[in-house]
């Protein structure tokens, strides 16, 4: 037996080294439909019943269910010597497909795309570029080619973003009062999840979701738009095509995909399109000033290494990019969640001073 300090260190090391196993338990339970099955059952189920309904092995199902109990994803009670399983509040809220706050699709996206890239993290660190060639056999300079490698995978990613904004969207759209901006454009707005939050919060606003043609077509096909007339879609590439007219442009989880030069290029285009007095709202997960936290954002930044050409940034780094593009009055607002908001304005020249009226001149025509 080592010292208590040594035992604590080894315990922490074990916890870290098994982290990927914990993720896989969560991913597998979602993929198999464990939480949905238990939610639909009229009462708690034994492992044999769960296995039979899932078409899975009894041994594997029992091991998975018991591990989910330890992870507080499931609860168990014993009746007549038999273990019966049911969902916890956590799984009922975030893991059921039918829950309005479900993260089910995001977890499947992490399992099927992100996880495969992370198997090559060491190589990504050596090369300084994403691992799409190794993970999917697609070029590293085509950032969304792996995500959009099939219609099913594209739909999975779009639903994953829906999941994120179902729990984070309202707080970031309410971080600043956006009611002074009646016409809003969500650049790279995907399925319109943030746009829906926006029109819900600000009844006087109209929102245009601007994204590439295949995304817009998928959004129109799979994501109903109950706010027809107050929000709509427009096809285009924000690096090349003319941006829609707007009082406010939203960039949510966009800048972190790109290196500084691409961010500067995009922000310059937004500034050029922006009306004087208009603004830009950047929504990102922000690093601490020294870049050494919070841990979740650091992991997101490593994820940008293995999946994109970008990184997460500090508030000061985003402010520098915005200022270089010509934006002023830059304000950062934390939300208490994973994502925060930065609002900046395009300088509006003050009106010319009124000329003094000399004696005998009329002030009215």
pLDDT score recorded for residue 33: 98
pLDDT score recorded for residue 1: 61
> Does the pLDDT of residue 356 top 80, yes or no?
no
Higher pLDDT, 221 or 147: 221
The residue from 104, 120, 256, 271 that is catalytic is: 256
pLDDT tens digits, residue range 39-67? Answer: 999 999 999 999 999 999 999 999 999 99
pLDDT score recorded for residue 362: 44
* Class of CATH domain 19-94: mainly alpha
Higher pLDDT, 209 or 1: 209
CA triple 285-154-156, angle to 5 deg:
70
Strands laid side by side in the 279-284 sheet: 231-235, 206-211, 183-187, 248-252, 279-284, 340-346, 327-333
Please, what is the angle between helix 315-324 and helix 260-273, to 10°? Answer: 50
> Does the pLDDT of residue 68 top 80, yes or no?
yes
Query: Which band of pLDDT confidence, cut at 50, 70 and 90, is reported for residue 357?
Result: low
Is position 104 annotated as part of the catalytic site?
no
pLDDT score recorded for residue 351: 73
Quick check: helix, strand or coil at residue 84? strand
* Out of 3-17, 128-142, 218-232, 329-343, least confident range: 218-232
pLDDT score recorded for residue 128: 96
The mean pLDDT value for 84-93 works out to: 98
Which are the contacts of 147, defined by CB distance < 8 A and separation ≥ 6? 113, 153, 154, 157
Domain boundaries, the chain: 19-94, 165-346
Query: Which band of pLDDT confidence, cut at 50, 70 and 90, is reported for residue 359?
Result: low
User: Helices in 211-294 by DSSP H: which ranges?
Assistant: 213-222, 260-273
How high is the mean pLDDT of the chain?
94
> Does the pLDDT of residue 141 top 90, yes or no?
no
pLDDT tens digits, residue range 285-303? Answer: 999 999 999 999 999 999 9
pLDDT tens digits, residue range 175-224? Answer: 999 999 999 999 999 999 999 999 999 999 999 999 999 999 999 999 98
pLDDT score recorded for residue 212: 95
> Does the pLDDT of residue 361 top 70, yes or no?
no
- CATH placement of domain 165-346: 3.40.50.150
């Amino acid at each position: 037996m080592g010292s208590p300090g040594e035992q604590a260190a080894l315990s922490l090391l074990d916890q870290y080294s098994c982290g990927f196993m914990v993720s896989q338990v969560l991913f597998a339970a979602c993929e198999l439909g464990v939480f949905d099955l238990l939610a639909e059952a009229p009462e708690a189920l034994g492992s044999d019943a769960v296995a039979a309904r899932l078409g899975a092995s009894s041994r594997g199902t029992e091991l998975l269910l018991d591990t989910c109990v330890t992870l507080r994803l499931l609860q168990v009670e014993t009746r007549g010597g038999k273990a019966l399983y049911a969902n916890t509040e956590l799984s009922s809220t975030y893991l059921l497909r039918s829950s309005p706050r479900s993260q089910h699709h995001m977890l499947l996206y992490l399992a099927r795309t992100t996880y495969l890239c992370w198997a090559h993290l060491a190589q990504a660190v050596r090369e300084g570029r994403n691992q799409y060639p190794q993970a999917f056999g697609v070029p590293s300079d085509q950032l969304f080619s792996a995500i959009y490698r099939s219609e099913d995978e594209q739909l999975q990613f779009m639903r994953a973003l829906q999941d994120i904004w179902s729990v984070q969207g309202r707080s970031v759209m309410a971080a600043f009062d956006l009611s002074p901006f009646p016409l809003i454009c969500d650049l790279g707005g995907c399925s319109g999840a943030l746009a829906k939050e926006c029109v819900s919060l600000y009844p006087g606003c109209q929102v245009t979701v601007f994204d590439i043609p295949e995304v817009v077509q998928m959004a129109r096909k799979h994501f109903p738009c109950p706010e027809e007339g107050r929000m709509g879609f427009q096809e285009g590439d924000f690096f090349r095509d003319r941006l829609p007219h707007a009082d406010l442009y939203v960039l949510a989880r966009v800048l972190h995909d790109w290196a500084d030069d691409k961010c500067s290029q995009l922000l310059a285009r937004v500034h050029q399109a922006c009306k004087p007095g208009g603004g830009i709202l950047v929504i990102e997960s922000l690093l601490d000033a020294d870049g050494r936290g919070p841990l979740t954002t650091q992991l997101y930044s490593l994820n940008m290494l293995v999946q994109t050409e970008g990184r997460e940034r500090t508030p000061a780094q985003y402010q520098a990019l915005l200022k270089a593009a010509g934006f002023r009055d830059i304000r950062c607002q934390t939300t208490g969640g994973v994502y925060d908001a930065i609002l900046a304005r395009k300088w509006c020249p003050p009106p010319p001073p009124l000329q003094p009226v000399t004696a005998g001149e009329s002030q009215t025509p």
